[in-house]
Structures are given as C-alpha cells and as structure tokens.
Structure 1
Amino acid sequence: MGGQVVGMRRGTHRRRGGALLTAAVAVSLAAGCTAGPGAKEDRRAPQPERSHSAAGSGSVLAVKVDNVRAARPQTGLGAADVVYAEPVEGGLSRLMAIYATELPEKVGPVRSARESDLELLRQFDRPTLAFSGAQSKLLPLIDSAPLRAEPPGEGSDAYVRDDDRPAPHNLYVRPGRLLPKAAGADALATGFHYGEAPEGGRSVSSRTVRYPSASFAFTWSESGDRWLVSLDGTPARTADGGRLAPATVIVQHVNVRQSDFRDFRGSNSPYVESVGSGRAEVLRDGRSYDAAWKRGSAADGTSFTTEDGTALNLAEGQVWVVFVDTAKAP
C-alpha cells in the first residue's frame, strides 16, 4: 500500500477576559492571519494569557487544520476520531480534526476558524477549539460560544512554529499543553452508531469529491481494510510517512450559503449548514450505502439512517465527513 496505514483505532472552562481575546487576536488578523494561502501572520502579536487549570477532562479537542498543498503532509490527523472536511474561500478546503480517545504530540498546521464551525461544535460539551485566528467581526461570536477558545497566546506554550516551513503553514499545537488527558469515547457526542455493516449497498473501489479548487479521493484497500485518502490527486500521508486511512467516509450533502463574514480579501466565507436534514453516502467495507442524515438542533449529533429509518452503523475506526454543497453535487 506504499506506507503504513494510520487511523486504525477509535475509541467549564471559561476564557479569561473575553474582550482581551477579541482585541488581541484581532491584532494578528490585521496582519493577515485568515484564510488565504498567501496570507502572512504576525508571530509577535500580543495575546491574552490563558489558564488551563480549569480544563475539563471531558472536553474533546477540535483543531482547525490547514489543507492547501503547502501545508502537507499534516501532522496528527491519523490520531483524530473524526475529521470534517469543509469548503472555504476560493473553492479551497479546510479540515476540523476532533480528538477524544487520543491526544497526539502535535497537530497542524493550525489555521483560522469559520462561523459555521461554531454550529458544528455545539454537539459537544464545551469543546476546546485550537485555531490560529478568525475574521475580526467573528471573534465576539467565538468568545460567546459554549466552547473553550485556544488561539496562540504569549502566556501559552501550546503552540510552536516549524522554521522549515513558510508562514502561515507552519503553526502547530501541542494538545497535551491544552488538556490534561484525552476525554474518552463518551465525549464523542456525534450521534454516530458503530457496528456490523447493514445489508445491501453497492460495491465501490473509490469515491471522489470535488470542490472548485480542491478534491478528496478515497480508494478502498482490501488488505488494509480502510479507505486510502488522496488530496488534490496526491496520496495523503502523515508527517511520518503513513497513509491517512479512515474506516468510514461520509459524503454529507448540505446547504452551503454565504456567511455574514468576509475574509481579508473581501470574499464571503462559505457557511456549511450542519443542522437540518438531507442525503448522504456512507462508505465502509468497500461498499457505498445511501443514507439520510438529520440533525434536529445545534446541540444534537447527526444521525444517519437507511431507507427504512434504521440507524446506519459505521465501521469501528476513524471517520471522515466531507461536506458537499447540495446545489452543486451530482
């Protein structure tokens, strides 16, 4: 398979000084710490000090991960329980990695948050969000959201730079500096069901999802019993050379509208509506299953059911959820 396959297992802290968070992160954003691949970040921007003593061990860690070519290979994705792929400006993509059963040594490159991330994360109980910044007008919403925001700060040693990579694709977070331990599988309030494969489905060897300027391909590996990931036509590997290989891939068809916020170039950010219902394709065990998804409110997880309404079991292991705009999907 050309490299070790990874992703084989599964398993209230309130910010100090919300106004300080908004003001301090806005300084770094003024230097261009947002979405564009050519954006530059001010490493010296002052940030508020953070206290981690109140961090709850039941909090999942969510990390916004860069996904342009210059950011690859990423670090720490193989340890995530769930990886969400979402559209961003310019037809590009970004990842949200969720960690509950394992905290890797390092994750990244870390990039900025989006408005729809807040809705997606409401399914978890006060998750910790690691991100490099956000559009300045979005910062007050992040500050008031029911989560623990953890951007880089002068009082924190959680973030490090890789001097061998160009900014802004060189910022990494050390999860062990944010959380005392992994939350455990019970913190994964995604609504997913795991178990034996349902009957039916179609045998498939691969599935490709295309954004205007990005693509995801998943190829079934019979020997590895996993879906091998390719990004923009290139096999996706971890920093140590292993292949990214989830056990289950969900192609979730959602409404994607314009956010109320723009990036530093003036482009509207896409807003993924993860609350609602629609159709999905669930890939597991070399087969594709048609499914319906439903998420009644932001506080709920997402259910995936078969045609007769039965919960559709996912395979044990890492799950990738790729959001696809219903209006543009085939």
Structure 2
Amino acid sequence: MTAPASSPSRPVGRRTVVIAVAVVAALLLGAALVVVISRGDPDAERTTPQGDQPTTAPASDTTEGTVPGLRFLPEDVPDDGSRAPLTGLPVADPRTLDRPLLAIKVDNLDVPGETARPQTGLAFADVVVEEVVEGGITRFVLLMHSTDPPPVGPIRSARTTDVHLLPAFGTSLFAYSGGNPGVLAAVRAAPAILDRGGESPPAYVRVPDRSAPHDLYLRTEVVWGDPGVATPPPPLSDFRPRGAPVSGGEPTGGVAIDHGGMASSPIRWEWQPTVRRWVRYQRESVHVDGEGYAVGPRNVVVAFTDYRPSPADPRSPEAVTVGAGEAWILIDGKVVTGRWERPTEDSPFSLLDAAGRPVRLSAGRTWIELVEPAAATLLPAA
C-alpha cells in the first residue's frame, strides 16, 4: 500500500469556534416518528413507535474538566470490573457486553444548502470509522456495543468498503438503508456480516422534520432483539489507563483532513487538554450530535490507505483495509507515527509504533479516519 510522503507537516492555525446546536433528540424521542421504510416500498406501513428507548449514560464524569459551551457524553460509572472491549471503559450494565456488535451506516453530507448534521448516535458509538464515498463526501460506520443510544441517523446506504472493513470487528449486525445490487449481494454473501439493512418497522423510521434522504433513523433495540449468530467484538486495544504516560510520540495540536472533491467537508481534530479529548470540527464548527454532545473521543487514528474503484460501481471508491499502511495515532495530546496492519480480511487491526511495538490506546472512545496519502496534515502543538 502507498504511504504518504515523509515531508514536513504544514502549520495550520488553531481556531476555536463554539456553536450552539438545537437538540434533535426532543424531536426524535418526543415527536411522532412516521413513514416507515420497507426496502424502498412506497406503500410501506405507517407506524408510530411506542415506548421510546431511554439513553444509557451515567449522570456525571468527575475526571473531566470543561470546555466553555461544550458538553461531552459522560464516561465514569461505578467500576465493577466489567470493561467494554472497544473502549476499555467500565459499563453501567455488564449484561450489555454479551450482546453483539451493531455496525450502523450514518450520513455525513455537509455542503452549503444541504446537510445531514446534526446526526444522532455519534457520541454513543464505541468506535466510529469515517470513509470516503463519492465526490469527497464521507460517511460514518458507527460501531455500537456498550451503550444504548437514542434513535441513530440519518441512515444511508452501504458500500463495498464496509464489506471488507467489518470482519475486523468480529461477526456483526449491519444496519444501513440499501445499496446497488452489487453491494447488496456482497453484504449478503459476507460470512461475518448479518444483514439488517432496509428492515421493516419498527426498526427503521422516517422523521417528519427532516427531508429525504436525511430522514431515516434506526432504533437499535429492535435490531439487537434479533442477534442471530452475531458476536460481541474482540478487544480493540490493550487500553492504557487514562492519563498514563504515552510511550513515545511527539506533542501535536491535532490533525487537519481534506479529502478533496466538490462535496468534501474539511475536518479538523484539536486537542483540548482540560478535558483530555480530541474535539472534532467540520466546516470550521464544532461537530455536535443531536443530543447536544460534542464529538470528543480519547483517540483518533489516521489510517493512511489507498482507495480503488469499487467492483460494484467504478464511480464509487473502495478503501483498501487489508494489508498495511502508515498511521498517525493521536493519544493524549501526542501523535505516535507508526503503522496499521491487517494481514487478512478476518484479522483485527493492529496499531504499531515505528519500532513495531503495539500502541496502547487510551481508555475511551476511538475514531478511525480512512485517509488517502497526503490528505492529512498534523497541527502544531500549542
């Protein structure tokens, strides 16, 4: 695989833009959810779901500082020894660790005049993988396991990138809105993926306050209610206790990413030391989800990879996630320059430093950016 050139990083100025975003959760959880999808059938049954699912989130997080105007999903809960495999964090209810991984495809179109923001569920995912689709647009694969999110969305279609990516995390349920015939055939043929795309109500619902195609949402409890042979995920890392020293690495203020293309939305991750999180900016505004939580994971992994034309549609890029490539692993205000490795499709990702030693992520949530060489630039440390 092609690695990015080892030229010095361009300095990029740091700007902090704080925005207040109206919370869509009230609309999702309080308003009637209507017009249900059933594999694209225009005569699909209409329904209003009963008994909205409560959000499982602890009431406080005493280890955090504050960033004015921002709030983050709390993480500290009583520690009874149960740890989530994708975060290394204690969980409020250990029984959640027995359920399978649920991978959800979420919209991220964000251009002047049309946007999928604010999405719901971003702050609740244990891991989020961001991949490029047509025109430089990105979509998210939310890996849900240890928390109970509100209805997640907007849901969008699958790509062949997902078919090759998801087996790295075990046998998972996969929720998405559809795809072309080649993609659908690949999803259904994948032994490590249980197809839960385009299901009938009450799993998928359309909300009245958003326009199609940005109006389709998923009720995760319905999908988890039919787990089939899907399994809990393997551990993502041998997690470091939060605040433990990072082995190696250089201080950095974060990373800027620009995928190019007419519909690309520039991305920036900035280190916020008072909360020990990487805060995400998109189009120069803090990325806040529909529950009002700022996107602020503990780890950001920039995995440099090639994109090739998808066999299902040559106009659609497919990320190459089997093999190896350079990686920037952002942890606790530092960047560890190393590699990602995944020798086979059913292998997990390994993150290694320049000497070939495993890199331990910080306990907490992780975002993985699938980035082409030269599309990312490190920011100078403050």
Structure 1 residues 45 and 258, CA, compared in 2 at 3 Å: closer, same or farther?
farther
Provide the rounded CA distance (Å) in 1 between the counterparts of 2:44 and 2:319: 30
Which of 254, 257, 265 is equivalent to 1:209?
257
Structure 1 residues 67 and 43, CA, compared in 2 at 3 Å: closer, same or farther?
farther
Post-superposition CA distance 1:178-224 (Å, at most 9, x none): 10499xxx933364331144333121122111111122211111111
2:281 equivalent in structure 1: 230
Aligned-residue offset at 1:119: 0.8
The aligned amino acid for 1:149 is D
Post-superposition CA distance 1:114-151 (Å, at most 9, x none): 01101111123321101000112221111111211112
The aligned amino acid for 2:198 is P
* Structure 2 portions without partners, runs of 5+: 1-15, 21-37, 46-96, 378-382
Structure 1 residues 311 and 106, CA, compared in 2 at 3 Å: closer, same or farther?
same
1:251 equivalent in structure 2: 302
The aligned amino acid for 2:288 is R
The aligned amino acid for 1:291 is G
The aligned amino acid for 2:117 is R
The 5 A counterparts of 1:144-293 are: 144-146=189-191, 147-154=193-200, 156-180=201-225, 187-189=232-234, 191-195=236-240, 196-212=244-260, 213-262=264-313, 268-293=315-340
1:323 equivalent in structure 2: 370
The aligned amino acid for 1:317 is G
Post-superposition CA distance 1:10-56 (Å, at most 9, x none): xxxxxxxxxxxxxx84xx3xxxxxxxxxxxxx65469xxxxxxxxx9
The aligned amino acid for 2:259 is Y
Provide the rounded CA distance (Å) in 2 between the counterparts of 1:328 and 1:246: 21
2:105 equivalent in structure 1: 64
Matched, 1:311 2:358: yes
Provide the rounded CA distance (Å) in 2 between the counterparts of 1:181 and 1:166: 29
Which of 66, 81, 86 is equivalent to 2:131?
86
CA RMSD in angstroms comes to: 2.6
Structure 1 residues 181 and 226, CA, compared in 2 at 3 Å: closer, same or farther?
farther
Matched, 1:121 2:166: yes
Post-superposition CA distance 1:223-243 (Å, at most 9, x none): 111011112322100112221
Provide the rounded CA distance (Å) in 2 between the counterparts of 1:219 and 1:149: 36
Post-superposition CA distance 1:285-308 (Å, at most 9, x none): 111110111001111111111122
1:8 equivalent in structure 2: none
Post-superposition CA distance 1:49-88 (Å, at most 9, x none): xxxxxxx954200000000121101101111010000000
In structure 2, the residue corresponding to 1:123 is in which secondary structure? Answer: helix
The aligned amino acid for 1:284 is I
Provide the rounded CA distance (Å) in 2 between the counterparts of 1:230 and 1:329: 14
Provide the rounded CA distance (Å) in 2 between the counterparts of 1:181 and 1:103: 16
In structure 2, the residue corresponding to 1:187 is in which secondary structure? Answer: coil
Provide the rounded CA distance (Å) in 1 between the counterparts of 2:205 and 2:211: 13
Provide the rounded CA distance (Å) in 1 between the counterparts of 2:145 and 2:232: 6
- How many residues were matched structurally? 280
The 5 A counterparts of 1:121-140 are: 121-140=166-185
Checking the alignment, whether the CA contact within 8 Å between 1:253 and 1:325 is kept in structure 2 is: yes
1:101 equivalent in structure 2: 146
Structure 1 residues 75 and 312, CA, compared in 2 at 3 Å: closer, same or farther?
same
Aligned-residue offset at 1:105: 2.4
Structure 1 residues 114 and 143, CA, compared in 2 at 3 Å: closer, same or farther?
same
Provide the rounded CA distance (Å) in 1 between the counterparts of 2:352 and 2:175: 31
2:5 equivalent in structure 1: none
Structure 1 residues 313 and 284, CA, compared in 2 at 3 Å: closer, same or farther?
same
Provide the rounded CA distance (Å) in 2 between the counterparts of 1:99 and 1:3: 27
The aligned amino acid for 1:274 is T
Checking the alignment, whether the CA contact within 8 Å between 1:64 and 1:131 is kept in structure 2 is: yes
Post-superposition CA distance 1:255-313 (Å, at most 9, x none): 21111122xxxx61111011101110011111111011100111111111112221101
Checking the alignment, whether the CA contact within 8 Å between 1:206 and 1:218 is kept in structure 2 is: yes
The aligned amino acid for 1:150 is R
The aligned amino acid for 1:95 is F
In structure 2, the residue corresponding to 1:176 is in which secondary structure? Answer: helix
Structure with the larger strand share: 1
Q: What TM-score, normalized by structure 2, do the two folds share?
A: 0.68
Checking the alignment, whether the CA contact within 8 Å between 1:192 and 1:302 is kept in structure 2 is: no
Q: What TM-score, normalized by structure 1, do the two folds share?
A: 0.78
Aligned-residue offset at 1:326: 2.7
Checking the alignment, whether the CA contact within 8 Å between 1:253 and 1:280 is kept in structure 2 is: yes
